[in-house]
Chain A
Amino acid sequence: MRIRGLSLVSLLLLWIVAAYIGADPQVLPMPWALAGPFWSELSSGELPFHLATTALRVLWAFALAMTLGTVLGLLMGVFPKIDQWLDPWLVIFLNLPALVLIVLCYLWIGLNETAAIIAVTLNKIPNVTTIIREGARALNPDLKAMAQVFRVRRSIYLKHIILPQLAPFIAAAARSGVAVIWKIVLVVEFLGRSNGIGFQIHLYFQLFDVAYVLVYSLSFIAFMLAVEWSLLQPWERRVRRWRQA
């Protein structure tokens, strides 16, 4: 915890030094120079509105990508036949640049919310699938036999025998998932939405206003850190509890 704090402070110091050497607030303002713009955006309601819009898109894309990616990864890991069929698709989608998917979604579906969320989801699914597939391949065959002999119900088998074995893999996918998704959401907003953090950054980019670009990016980073520390990490600690006991 102390090291984490020191590390953040040193980043701030680096910023101050760079701003001092650069000596051009147009290019890089001092950290405290952001307070004014931050307050004006906050009190006008602009910042909360765009933050909420982006957060909602992140949430949708995250939920969809995690669900579909987990199901696909599980199927591919457990059934080698399905894996053989879908693996080439997975490789293609893994290597398709995010930008291509986004542009194609906008062109084919239209400049709307559906296209935006589908584009982000499609970008993330292959990642989740790859990670979960590894987990599914490593499922314990003895536990499977045990469940079979005792005729454990399917729902219980999935919830209490499969999912706990996949939990570390789901956590890893979620971890890298959130980080990647919100970055892609910003690009999606930058290219074809009229609200959200990405749109605001686009706007202030065109006005060459670095301070506002920083205000919006830093606000969202702070938001995502809060999610990580208040939701993801406590959840991970809870499912890992049996290992420490």
Chain B
Amino acid sequence: MTRINVSAKSFGETVILRDIHFEISAGETVALLGPSGIGKSTLLQLIAGTDTDFEGQIERPDAIAMVFQEPTLLPWRSVLDNILLVHKTVDGDSAHAALERVGLNSKAYMFPGQLSLGQQRRLSLARAFAGSPDLLIMDEPFVSLDEATAEGMLILTEELIGEVKPATIFVTHSEPEAKRLATRVLRLQGKPATLI
């Protein structure tokens, strides 16, 4: 179970987020919508635990995975190592299987720089699911891809969420994307931003 209780998050004097309380149970997919600059990514950072400077409390499972806006890969390590190095529990076979699942196993020994942006995104997706996370966080995972590639990614993500069944929260700008993937839609609005 993931429980989010943020009473306030500020940058300096400015309060960005206030009174945000919700839960995500296993298998549930939550979409987080809101105008840009409202603090969606900031909220994700709080949930992920990369930003701990806020008032409130967040309860989260141990196995967390994140798909970032940028692929955020290790360009100096092979595609395969990008999965192996990040996960303690994943062995060679399951790493290959994870790559196979996103159609990248033939490129296992290349460097990420040799992949297209779409392929790098898929690798980032494979990395997230390889560890069978209990909580999956995605920050605009389909942004800046052409329509066909984005559609492919969306289908892949749908399937992987169905297989691994993590508690999922993702940020998006697109209503259709949210409707399609999410079991529940949350909206951030106001100043400071809160759920409506």
Contacts and interface: CB of A to CB of B under 8 A. Distances in A.
Given A160-B85, A161-B74, A242-B75, A150 B64 contact: yes
A104 interface: no
A145 B74 CA distance: 13
A156 B113 CA distance: 21
Interface in B105-129: 110-111, 113-114, 127
Given A152-B86, A160-B85, A146 B72 contact: yes
B59 to A, nearest CB: 16
Contact of B74 (A153, A164, A243, A245): A164
A149 B88 contact: no
A149 B49 contact: yes
A142 B64 contact: no
A164 B82 CA distance: 13
Contacts of A167: 76
A145 B85 contact: no
A58 to B, nearest CB: 29
Determine chain B's interface SS by DSSP, over half rule: loop
Contacts of B66: 145-146, 149-150
B137 interface: yes
A7 interface: no
Interface of B: 45, 48-50, 62, 64-66, 68, 70, 72, 74-77, 81, 85-88, 110-111, 113-114, 127, 131, 137
B111 A150 contact: no
B113 A150 contact: no
Given A150-B131, A164-B76, A245-B113, A145 B86 contact: no
A37 to B, nearest CB: 48
Interface in A143-161: 143, 145-153, 156, 160-161
Contact of B68 (A142, A151, A161): A142
A208 B114 CA distance: 61
Interface string A150-193: 11110010001100100100000000000000000000000000
Contact of A242 (B50, B72, B111): B111
Residue of A149, A151, A164, A239 with most chain B CB atoms under a 10 A cut-off: A149
A245 B110 contact: yes
B170 to A, nearest CB: 14
Interface in A118-159: 142-143, 145-153, 156
B72 A153 contact: no
* A-B CB proximity, top 9 nearest: A164-B76, A145-B50, A149-B66, A242-B76, A245-B111, A242-B111, A150-B86, A146-B72, A142-B72
A242 B87 CA distance: 22
A245 B87 contact: no
